[in-house]
Structure 1
Amino acid sequence: MNQLPPPTRVGRPQTAPTNEYDDGPFTFRPATKDGFTATVAIQGPSGSGKTWTGLCVASGLAEGQRFAVIDTERGAAALYVNDLDIAFDTLPMHRYDPRDLQKALAAAAQAGYPVVMVDSLSHFWKGTDGTLDQVDKAKSKYGGNKFAGWKDGTPLQNDMIEALMSYPGHVVVTMRSYTDWVLENGQPVNKGMRAEQRRGIEFEFGVAAEMDKSNRLRFIKSRCPAFRGLVLDQPVGARDIAKPYLDWLRDGAKETDPSIWVDAATAPEATADSLLALYREVEASSALAAPLLHPDTGKPISLGDLIKERGTALKAATS
């Protein structure tokens, strides 16, 4: 009868050291509206007035300051600069890699624009080098399996949306839309208009509305009670949308200045402990993904990653 070999003792596998930034405590804090900014999405077919309305909303949110427009619509926004008598700067985009939108947002944040408008966000989904293109390119890594290509495409899309929602100022986006037909019992059924973006994208925004070719705007989602179920004919964006939204956000809240966090993260006197505390403060304000440009390399980086990078380096230097 064969005997089993004697047991061999092996050491327990070494676990990776705990990352103090990523494994912080779960701490509940009093709920406040401090630091919240407006995020507005306007979708509609060509000719519905979404660019015009978006510019009016952005201008109202900017309250007289210049704002930034990330333009994928061949200069459509700039055509209205004299008609609307508002001040904004544009950045024309011709490739729509989601990472390029992150870079553009970081540049806008670095320049201190209080509002950024993306006209339109649809291109970063289905335009040249957009998310769908990235998925199609990635499928070759997985034997031509396009479904597997989403392993690459989904993180790019998610990181882009996170950077957009974390912009240190107000955000307005437009999106193209189309009629969504589905088959039910073998018959085509009209399910209404759908944005040319990831399904459910409207739920990322504080306020989302759709426009038709009669310039009629209908709110389809709103955290602001003033807009729920509201329909506006030929809305005046600054008066009808921006002002009531700002009034609601500011009711009982104090505004925060994200540049204070950036200054603290790059301060010469910062320590590993102070940067860890700063990270927790930024984390509590849901601003870790705020896009900015690295002070040394000039490349896009999130505020959270900048704090973590410097804090980790300082701790290693003193250990």
Structure 2
Amino acid sequence: MTLPAPTRTGQQAQTGNQYDDGPFTFRPATKDKAKARVAIQGVSGSGKTWTGLSVAHGLSEGQRFAVIDTERGAASLYVGINGIQFDVLQMHRFDPRDLVKALAAAAQAGYGTVFIDSLSHFWKGADGTLEQVEKAKSKYGGNSFAGWKDGTPMQNDMIDALLTYPGHIVVTMRSHTEWVLQENDRGRKEPVAMGMRAEQRKGVEYEFGVVAAMNIDNQLTVLKSRCPSLHKRVIQEPNGAADIAKPLLDWLNDGAESVDTSAWIDSASDESATAAQLLDLYREVESHGALATPFLHPGTGQPTNLGDFIKERGTALKAASAA
């Protein structure tokens, strides 16, 4: 049996839920200007906070950026060094839903770069995903596995908010520390701390464009990079702005102009918008993978995402016209 050649089609007739049952439409591929998604993992004392700040400073091109701090003010110790200036939000409870709220507030404030130090707390810190699963299991007869019915959506929503934030994102992650015996320059065995795996949900590294690991000697190794010039680089005492942010920005900016998400938000909020226009807008945002873009609801001031807001308005307008 020979399949027909694929074709690109316009919007098809909708059945059932208009928003959830959209058409599968292929469009010409383009390399749009993208935003950086950088993760730096390492053991305590490896320099990941300072390196992350330097990367964020470089990505923001000298502008103030936002820091979401879970490390009891560690980032603020470096303010002013090499001209680095930022605004900070201290967090002491680490419900992943609160990170979504913080990102929505940062987007509303217009920060072009957000640095999260560290993402590990939202996995295994107070009220993090693991604690949310532990709390939820009581609803399922103490079954921890069933508790993931609550924990997984929270974790996924947090990752979606990170990936769709309308600016650059830099995160640090703690590494599981394992001590191994290595031979020193005197020929003697000595214990050395090795960072083995990031303290976050397994596979989280796949979500970032650049993933680097730092060791106790302040050496950075790029484990993964979609940016060719950073691929497999090993940098001793890295200057995050020059060694990572600059080549990354050069590569990211080598493309078509990126979509301004604020224009989508304005269109979604337009009082003259019709239900049909909002459905078309939803499809456009969906085609760019930006439905989960976090922002503050213009009516309630509460965190929401672009897809839910468009769907809410479009559904309400359709129901009103049918009444």
TM-score calculated relative to the size of structure 1: 0.90
CA contact 1:53–1:236 (8 Å) conserved in 2? yes
Aligned to 2:152: 154
Instruction: Specify every segment of 5 or more residues in structure 1 that has no aligned partner in the other structure, as ranges.
Output: 1-16, 182-189
**Does the 8 A contact of 2:59 with 2:241 survive in 1?**
yes
Matched, 1:284 2:287: yes
Matched, 1:260 2:263: yes
Give the structure 1 partner of residue 69 of structure 2. Answer: 71
Q: C-alpha displacement at 1:243, in angstroms?
A: 1.1
Contact (CA 8 Å) 1:119, 1:174: kept in 2 or not?
yes
Whichever residue aligns with residue 153 of structure 1, its letter is: G
CA distance in structure 2 between the aligned counterparts of 1:247 and 1:155, rounded to whole angstroms: 35
Q: Deviations over 1:88-128 (max 9, x none)?
A: 10000000000000000000000010011110000000000
Structure with bigger gyration radius: 1
Q: Which residue of 1 aligns with 2:114?
A: 116
Q: Quote the RMSD (CA, aligned, Å).
A: 1.5
Point out 4+ residue stretches in structure 1 off by more than 6 angstroms.
none
CA deviations 1:186-226 (Å, max 9, x no partner) are xxxx9961001001111110110000111100011111111
Amino acid across the alignment from 1:63: E
Shift of 1:36: 1.8
In structure 1, the residue matched to 2:131 is 133
Gaps of 5+ in 2: 1-14, 180-192
Indicate whether 1:177 and 2:175 are aligned: yes
* In structure 2, distance between residues paired with 1:164 and 1:244: 22
Q: Distance in 1 between matches of 2:82 and 2:216?
A: 20
TM-score using structure 2 length: 0.88
Alignment partners' CA distance in 2, 1:94 and 1:295: 27
Within 5 Å, which residues of 2 pair with 1:237-316?
237-316=240-319
Partner of 1:30: 28
Percent same amino acid among aligned pairs? 70
Aligned length: 295
Change (3 A) 1:214 1:269: same
Q: 1:196 aligns with which of 189, 199, 204?
A: 199
Q: Residues 212 and 192 from structure 1, CA distance in 2 versus in 1: closer, same or farther, beyond 3 angstroms? A: closer
CA-CA distance at 1:35 after TM superposition = 4.3
> C-alpha displacement at 1:152, in angstroms?
1.1
Contact 1:33 / 1:254 at 8 angstroms: preserved in 2? no
